[in-house]
Amino acid sequence: MTVLERAPEVKVRVMAWGDVVVETADGEVSGGPHCLAILDAFSQPTTLAEALEVLGPRTGGAQDWIDLTAAVVRLHEAGVLRTEGDPERDSDDVLRATFDSPSPHASMLEDRVRTSAFLAALDELVRPDDVVVDIGTGTGVLAVAAARAGARHVYAIEATPLAHEAREVIRANGLDDRVTVVEGWSTRISLPERATVAVSEILGSDALEERVLPVLADARRRLLEPGARLIPSDVRIFGLPVSVPDDHLASLTFTHSNTARWSSWYGLELGPLADYSSRRRQRYTAVIDDVRSWTSPTEPVLLTELDLSGLETPQVDVTVTAVATGSGTVNGVVGYFEAQLSPGVVLSTNPALEPAPNSWGVPVWLLQEPVELRRGQELALRYVHQGGTAGSMRLSA
Amino acid sequence: MTIEPSSTLQKNENVAFRRLAAGEGGVLLHLESGEYHGINEVGCLIWELLDGERTVDVVAVELRDGVEDPPDDLVPDVIAFLDDLRERDLVS
């Protein structure tokens, strides 16, 4: 049973003619004359049947009831009434908040290796007459490159207001007749034709955290021709059990030594914070250069190789065994990926590469309890991604 | 799975029902698809008899009281109607 609740912050305008308009991140939606009552009815998680029990008596007749329920449907479709704990909506909020500013886009453009690799892959794969869809076009750079590479038409999809800037960039390059910017989430829009190539720079530091798997699975179903070429086409994800040095941990989390130090500095008792790490899972993003010197008693292990053009399910749940080649303490796992953009272009975040190959970071999962490993001992790494923005990593010796 | 006289069907809980003016049938709204489905008076009676416990043949027997000049066997008509609703994800 679907339980709906009102989005946490809703801005409404009451119009002179009796309608109530709700503003959403994607635009506006008309809530009709019963809108305020509907928003009130769904202020707590409520089923449709429960809400209509309250709202039904307000309606004057069958047509009024239809108008009211149609408003419920519109508000639901617009995300004003959302499924309780809907991971996709929650992920959308996280992603929109992350990418609705110049900073991540400037960082990606400043990353010459990354952007040049995508441009090279487009040059390699796009043929005349291709229809290209660029999912998450951002500043429009890959859409412009796809058109320049010869695409007959490019659909550039962008969910943040940066779509406006993308449009200007496309116009400045004289390509507005061949590139169409479509505002919204790719999973909720339709295109007038199916694309033969999909390019999507939606890889996070933990490769899957920007929802590349569910987004591409949806695109394959609805937006792409069968056999469409994908950029990237494959992603290989690796895990490296590591010993995160104490001085690095001290500014990241609560430890016995830093809580003792803070207690003495401030004349307070902060010792209880040190138990946090044993109770909670922690994951943060590290700079590649910082990670390189960390020691590891094992070799990196391939956690999974994902063929993005043939993936059956957007979930990943794999357990892989690492064998210790030396002895040491493991208190975290570093993840990194290799993305095959085209047969000739690979991007990697492997910290062993020096200097840091690009501006991505690497995810570090801290263990709740450190593990002592001896040479030859096995360590099982379980990597799980359910399709939202957060993946998890667990270790068992 | 085909619907049998002994089958029991559940209303989809994301569907809202409203009768129209007397004698004009009713309307079913599917919340997820946003589609409205009009049903006639007999359809309304069947919808109201669906409680997740009555089997199809019990629904057919009770329906007989509300229908003028019912045919000898109402079960095939009830099954055909429920099949239609199931196809539209209104019942399961």
- Shared domain for A375 and A337, answered yes or no, is yes
Q: The domain that contains A22 carries what CATH number?
A: 3.90.930
**Position B59 in a domain:** yes
- Residue A253, helix vs strand vs coil: coil
Q: Note the pTM of the prediction, 2 decimals.
A: 0.64
Taking CA A69 as the corner, what is the angle to CA A66 and CA A74, rounded to the nearest 5 degrees?
Answer: 120
From the candidates A58, A73, A81, A188, which should be mutated to test the interface with B, based on the most B CB atoms within 10 A? Answer: A73
Residues in chain A with CB shorter than 8 Å from the CB of B20 are: 62
The number of distinct structural domains making up chain B is 1
Kindly state whether A73 is in contact with chain B, defined as any CB-CB distance less than 8 angstroms.
yes
Give the per-residue pLDDT at A89.
61
Give residue B73's domain range: 15-87
Pairing of strands A361-373, A282-287: antiparallel
pLDDT tens track for A201-227: 888 888 888 888 888 888 998 999 999
Residues in chain A with CB shorter than 8 Å from the CB of B18 are: 56, 62, 65-66, 69
- Shared domain for A249 and A351, answered yes or no, is yes
Give residue A147's domain range: 99-201
- Shared domain for A241 and A189, answered yes or no, is no
Q: Which of residues 23-42 of B touch A (CB under 8 A)?
A: 27, 29, 31-32, 34, 36
Give the per-residue pLDDT at A240.
94
**Position A219 in a domain:** no
pLDDT tens track for A239-277: 999 999 888 888 888 888 889 999 999 999 999 898 887
Nearest residue to A363 via CA among A324, A391, A325, A321: A391
Residues in chain B with CB shorter than 8 Å from the CB of A62 are: 18-21, 27
- Shared domain for A246 and A182, answered yes or no, is no
Residues in chain A with CB shorter than 8 Å from the CB of B31 are: 2, 48, 72-73, 76
Report the distance separating Cα B90 and Cα B72, nearest Å: 27
**Residue-by-residue pLDDT tens, chain A, 397 positions:** 678 888 877 788 888 887 899 987 667 889 988 999 999 988 888 888 888 888 888 888 888 888 898 899 889 888 888 876 555 666 666 667 677 778 777 878 888 888 999 999 999 999 999 999 999 999 999 999 999 999 999 999 998 888 999 999 999 999 999 999 998 888 888 899 999 999 998 888 888 888 888 888 889 989 999 999 999 999 999 999 999 988 888 888 888 888 999 999 999 999 989 888 776 778 888 888 888 889 999 999 999 999 998 877 778 888 999 999 999 999 899 999 999 999 999 999 998 887 777 778 899 988 878 889 899 999 888 888 776 666 677 777 6
State the angle between helix axes of A102-110 and A87-99 in degrees (0 to 180), rounded to the nearest 10: 70
Residue A98 Cα distances to A78, A131, A174, A288, angstroms = 21, 29, 29, 20
- Shared domain for A358 and A258, answered yes or no, is yes
- Shared domain for A79 and A104, answered yes or no, is no
Q: Which of residues 14-53 of A touch B (CB under 8 A)?
A: 47-49, 52
Q: The domain that contains A197 carries what CATH number?
A: 3.40.50.150
Report the distance separating Cα B22 and Cα B48, nearest Å: 15
At CB < 8 A and 24+ separation, what contacts does A112-120 make? A113/A347, A113/A357, A113/A358, A114/A201, A114/A347, A114/A358, A114/A359, A114/A360, A115/A141, A117/A341, A117/A345, A117/A346, A117/A347, A118/A142, A118/A145, A118/A199, A118/A201, A118/A231, A118/A341, A119/A145, A120/A341, A120/A342, A120/A344, A120/A345
Pairing of strands A3-6, A46-47: antiparallel
The number of distinct structural domains making up chain A is 3
- Shared domain for A106 and A56, answered yes or no, is no
The ipTM is: 0.78
Nearest to A66 among B21, B27, B32 (CB): B27
Report the distance separating Cα A112 and Cα A78, nearest Å: 37
- Shared domain for A315 and A379, answered yes or no, is yes
- Shared domain for A268 and A347, answered yes or no, is yes
- Shared domain for A241 and A364, answered yes or no, is yes
